[in-house]
Chain A
Amino acid sequence: MRVSKRATSAIALSAAAALVASGCSSGDGDGDAAASKDGSIVVHGVQPENPLVPSNTTETGGGKIIDWLFTGLVEYPNDGGAPRNALAESINTTDSKVFTIKIKAGTKFHDGTEVKSKNFVDAWNWAAYSPNGAQNGTFFADIAGFDKTYTSDPDGPDGPQKAPAPTAEKLSGLKIIDDQTFEVTLAAPTAVFPTKLGYSAFMPLPDVFFTMKPEEFGRKPIANGPVKFVSWEDNSLIKLTRFDDYNLRDKMKVKDVDVKLYQDDNAAYADLLANNLDFMEVVPTSALAGDKWKTDLGDRGRSTVTPSTAFIAFPIYDKRFQNPKLRRAVSLAVNRQEISDKIFFGTRKPADSWANPLTPGAKPGNCTACKFDPATAKTLLAEAGGFSGEMVFYYNADSAHKDWMDAVAQQVKTNLNINARAEGVPTFAVFRQNINAHKMTGPYRAAWQQDYPDVENWVNPLFVTNGSSNDGLYSSTEVDALAKQASGAPSLEASHEAFAKAVEKVDQDVPSIPVYFYGQQSGHSEKIKKLELNNVGEIDITSVEL
C-alpha cells in the first residue's frame, strides 16, 4: 500500500475513492472545448520521496504522479468497478496459473519507442531481483522463479549475516513469445493476478531505463501514459504536459498540468480559496471542523468515500489478548456511530464490514463484531475471565489520531469497566518499529488502503499466517486453508465466494476491529468545469475540462 506523507502519517487519507453512487462528475455540465484545449491547471502535490520509478514508489506523493504518467496492462475504472484491459489486448488463462498476455500494438513511450512485451518482462525482472532493492519487489512473489531471484536475509536486516546472492537473475515464469505477447507462469493458481496488473509495480519500463541508473531515470521518467514528464524542481513544482501520441483512451483535454509541491496543507488550502490552485485532493483537517470547508468552498467542494478502513489491531502475541471473547467484547463496546458523528463530523462512516464495502468481492455488513452492544460485551468479558491491569490503546502522535483513540479508550472504560486509556507514540517511525518488532503491549491503531481492488487484498495480507501486514501475528489454520482455497479458485466469482467464508471465520475470532471507513473531502477552483476522481480519489487528469 502507499503511505501518505501528509502529516507524516500512516495512512493515506488521500486514499482511494470510488464514487460509486454519484458517478463522480462535477455538476457544472460540460466545459468549453476551446478553453480546455490549450488550458493548464495547477494541482496539489507533495514532494515524491524517491525518484519516480514505479516499482520503487510506495507513497502517495510520488504514486499519484506515477499513476498519471503510466498506463498499465489493466486499469481500474473511476467508479470502483472491476478492472478492465488498458494496454492489454487480452489476458487469457485456463487454470489461473499460466496467463497469456497480449498487448495492443502501436502504443508508444514518451521517447517515441514502441511498447513491446519485453518492456514488461524486463521491468518485472528488474524489480524482482533483490539486489536492486525495489520497495515493491515482493509484488512479484506470485510468479514462478521468484524464490530464485529474491533471496532473504537469514537473520533479518539487523543480523550480522547478509542475504545470499540470488541464483537467478530472471524470473523463470516470464517468457516472451513475440513483440506483442508474453506468457506468465505463476507458482500457484491465483485468480486475482490479472487484477493486480493495474498496480504501479507492474508498469512497463522503456529500454532506456536499463541503460542508466534508476535514480537518474527517476528524476526524468519516460512513461507511456496520457501525460508526459517535463521538469521537476524539488519541493516546488513538477511540470507535466499532454502526450499527443497517446492512443489508449481519451487524450487529456487540457494541455499542461503543474503539480505544485506543498509543504503545508493550510498553505494549499489558502491557494485553493483564492483560486490560485485548481485542485486539492484532501482539504486539511482544520477545515473539516464545523463544516468550514462547505461554507468556504460551496459547490467547489465535494465529499466522497474511499476504500480505506481504520482498524484497531490486537497484539495477539501478548497472552492477555489471546481470548477471542475478550477481543469481541472490546469491539462490541465501541460506539462507532458516535465517533463518526462527534469526532469526524460525519466525514468518516462507521465500519460494519471486514473488507471495505467499495472493494469488488466485499460483503457489506459482514462484521457482526462491529455492532454497538455493551450488554453482550459485558457478558463476553465475564466469560473471558475479565481483564486485569491497564489496557493501553496506542497511536502515532504525529498525525491526527488522538481524538478518536481517546474516545475508543473512554468507551471501553465506561462500557466494560476496564482501566483503559490511549497513549501516543511520538512518531510514526517509532510506532511502526515497535509494531514490526512485535513489541506492542496493547491494542493499536492501524489502517488499510487496498493496493488493487479485490477482496483478496483485504484478507491475505491482513489475516493469513505470515501475511505481509499481519502484524498482530493472528494465525488460524481454518482461515489459512479457506484463503488458500479462495486464492487458487478458477474464477474471480468462485474466489470471492470462498473469501467470504474465510471472512466469516475471521469475524468469529476478531483479530482486529474495524472502526471507520475513510472519506475524502476535496475542492477545485472556479476554472474547472468538469472533473472525475479515480478509484483511489486522485484527480483523473484526462477528465478535466475548463
Chain B
Amino acid sequence: MGRYLLRRLLQLVPVFIGTTFLIYWLVWAVPGDPFAGKCGERRCPDQYIAFMTEKYHLDQNVFVQYANYMKNLLQGDFGQTFSQREISDIILTSYPNTLKLAVVALAIEAVIGLGAGVLSGLRRNGFLDNLVLVSTLFLIALPVFVVGFVLQWLLGVQWGIIKPTVSSEMRWSELIVPGFVLGSASVAYIARVARTSIAENRRADYVRTAIAKGLPMRRVVGVHLLRNSLIPVVTLLGTDLGALMGGAIVTEGIFGINGIGRQVFRAIITKESATVVGIVVVLVLVYLVMNLLVDLLYAALDPRIRYE
C-alpha cells in the first residue's frame, strides 16, 4: 500500500511539469500582442509597453520565460498579472468559490443521481425506471447554459424565489440552484451508471445467497448490493470534481460567481501565461489527487482489490 502510494505520488511530477509547460507554451502562442488592445483605439505609449515588457521579461523566449516562472513557482511565488495583482491572491479568492460550487454540484449529483439510479435499478422497466430514463435523457440533451438561463429567469426573475445572482458572501443556500445547473448533466450519467450496476449485481450469486439467508431487503440492498455497485459511480464522481471545477465557467458567468473559469478566460485573452498556469496547476493537482483517492477507495469498497 505504502509503495503503491509513493509510486503514484512520484508519477505526479512528470505529469505536473508536462502539463504546465504545455499550457505555458499554448498561452504564449495565442496570437496578439498583450498591450495592443489595452489602450483602446489608440496605441499605448511606448514607455508603458517598454516598462511592462521589461517587468514581465516578455522579450525573452518562451523557454527562458517558463524556466523563470517555474523557478519562482517552486519558491512559492505565483507571480503577478499584467495589472500588477498577485496571482496567489486571485487563486486564493477564486478557488474556494469554484470549489464550493463544485462540491454542491457533486453532492446534488450523488444524492439525486444515486437515489434515482438505485430506485430504477431495483424496479427495472417499471414506471419509475421509465420516468428516470426520460428525465435523464432530457437533462443530457439540454446544454448547461439553457438549464442555467431558464432556471435563473423562472426562479429568479419571474417567481422571485431566489436572487438571480449569487452574492459575494457565497452562502451555501444560494449555491443550490447554480450547483444543480452545474451538475445537471452529470446527475443523469450517475443515475444511468448506478442503475445498470445495480441491475447487474441484483442477479449476482451473493445477492441471491443474502436473500436466501433471509436477510431483510433493506440490508441486502444497503450493505451487499449497493457497496459492490458503487465502484463505477465513485469513479465517475471522483473524476467529475475536477471536470466540474474546470467546466464551471458557464455556470459562474450566468450566476455571477467569482470563480476560476472567468479568471482563466480573461487571462487567455490577455495572454497572461502566468495566471493561466497558476490556476491550472492547482486544477491539475485536484485531478491527480482525486484520481488517486478514487483508486484507494476501490479497496475500501471491494475487499477483493488490494494494492501492493
* A-to-B contact residues, CB < 8 Å: 1-3, 8, 10-12, 48-51, 58-59, 130-135, 137-138, 150-153, 156-157, 162-163, 215, 233-237, 260-264, 266-268, 270-271, 273-274, 276, 398, 426-433, 436, 446-448, 461, 468-469, 471
Q: Which 6 A-B pairs have the closest CB atoms?
A: A133-B51, A3-B40, A429-B32, A270-B164, A433-B36, A157-B49
B32 contacts A433, CB within 8 Å? yes
Query: Does B50 count as interface, using CB distance less than 8 angstroms?
Result: yes
9 A-B pairs besides A1-B40, A2-B40, A133-B52 with CB distance below 8 A are: A51-B83, A133-B51, A215-B84, A233-B168, A260-B256, A267-B254, A427-B32, A427-B37, A429-B34
Closest to B54 in A: A162
Query: Does B79 count as interface, using CB distance less than 8 angstroms?
Result: no
For B47, B164, B262, which residue has the most chain A Cβ atoms within 10 angstroms? Answer: B47
Give B191-207 interface residues, CB cut-off 8 Å to A.
Answer: none
Partner of B256, one of A131, A268, A273, A432: A268
What's the Cα separation between A131 and B54 when bound, in Å?
A: 11
Contacts of A426 in B (CB 8 A): 31
Stretch at the interface among B103-111, B150-158, B182-190: B150-158
Stretch at the interface among B4-12, B89-97, B133-141: B89-97
B45 contacts A270, CB within 8 Å? no
- Nearest CB on A from B291, distance (A): 30
Partner of B46, one of A58, A156, A433, A461: A156
B40 contacts A131, CB within 8 Å? no
B36 contacts A430, CB within 8 Å? yes
Closest to A137 in B: B45
Query: Does B217 count as interface, using CB distance less than 8 angstroms?
Result: no
Contacts of B152 in A (CB 8 A): 267, 270
What's the Cα separation between A414 and B83 when bound, in Å?
A: 46
What's the Cα separation between A58 and B35 when bound, in Å?
A: 12
- Nearest CB on B from A462, distance (A): 9
Known: A163-B50, A237-B168. A446 touches B41 (CB 8 A): yes
Residue-wise interface mask of B (262-300) relative to A, using a CB-CB cutoff of 8 A (1 in contact, 0 not): 110000011100000000000000000000000000000
What's the Cα separation between A505 and B273 when bound, in Å?
A: 47
Contacts of B22 in A (CB 8 A): none
A234 contacts B258, CB within 8 Å? yes
- Nearest CB on B from A110, distance (A): 22
Query: Does B255 count as interface, using CB distance less than 8 angstroms?
Result: yes
Residue-wise interface mask of B (36-69) relative to A, using a CB-CB cutoff of 8 A (1 in contact, 0 not): 1111111111111111110000000000000000
What's the Cα separation between A448 and B41 when bound, in Å?
A: 7
A264 contacts B253, CB within 8 Å? yes
A276 contacts B164, CB within 8 Å? yes
B163 contacts A234, CB within 8 Å? no
B89 contacts A234, CB within 8 Å? yes
Query: Does B33 count as interface, using CB distance less than 8 angstroms?
Result: yes
B47 contacts A427, CB within 8 Å? no
Query: Does B165 count as interface, using CB distance less than 8 angstroms?
Result: yes
Contacts of B34 in A (CB 8 A): 429
Contacts of A276 in B (CB 8 A): 163-165
28 A–B contacts from the bound complex (CB under 8 Å): A3-B39, A49-B83, A51-B83, A51-B84, A58-B38, A130-B45, A133-B51, A135-B45, A153-B46, A157-B49, A157-B53, A215-B84, A233-B168, A261-B258, A262-B256, A270-B153, A270-B157, A273-B164, A274-B156, A274-B157, A276-B163, A427-B269, A429-B36, A430-B31, A432-B43, A433-B32, A448-B41, A468-B43
Partner of B47, one of A8, A12, A153, A432: A153
Query: Does B160 count as interface, using CB distance less than 8 angstroms?
Result: yes
What's the Cα separation between A276 and B174 when bound, in Å?
A: 14
Contacts of B43 in A (CB 8 A): 432, 436, 468, 471
- Nearest CB on B from A325, distance (A): 27
For B45, B51, B263, B270, which residue has the most chain A Cβ atoms within 10 angstroms? Answer: B45
Contacts of A130 in B (CB 8 A): 45, 47
A1 contacts B168, CB within 8 Å? no
What's the Cα separation between A153 and B38 when bound, in Å?
A: 19
Contacts of A447 in B (CB 8 A): 41
Closest to B50 in A: A157
Residue-wise interface mask of B (235-275) relative to A, using a CB-CB cutoff of 8 A (1 in contact, 0 not): 00000000000000000111110100011000001110000
Contacts of A235 in B (CB 8 A): 93-94, 258, 262-263
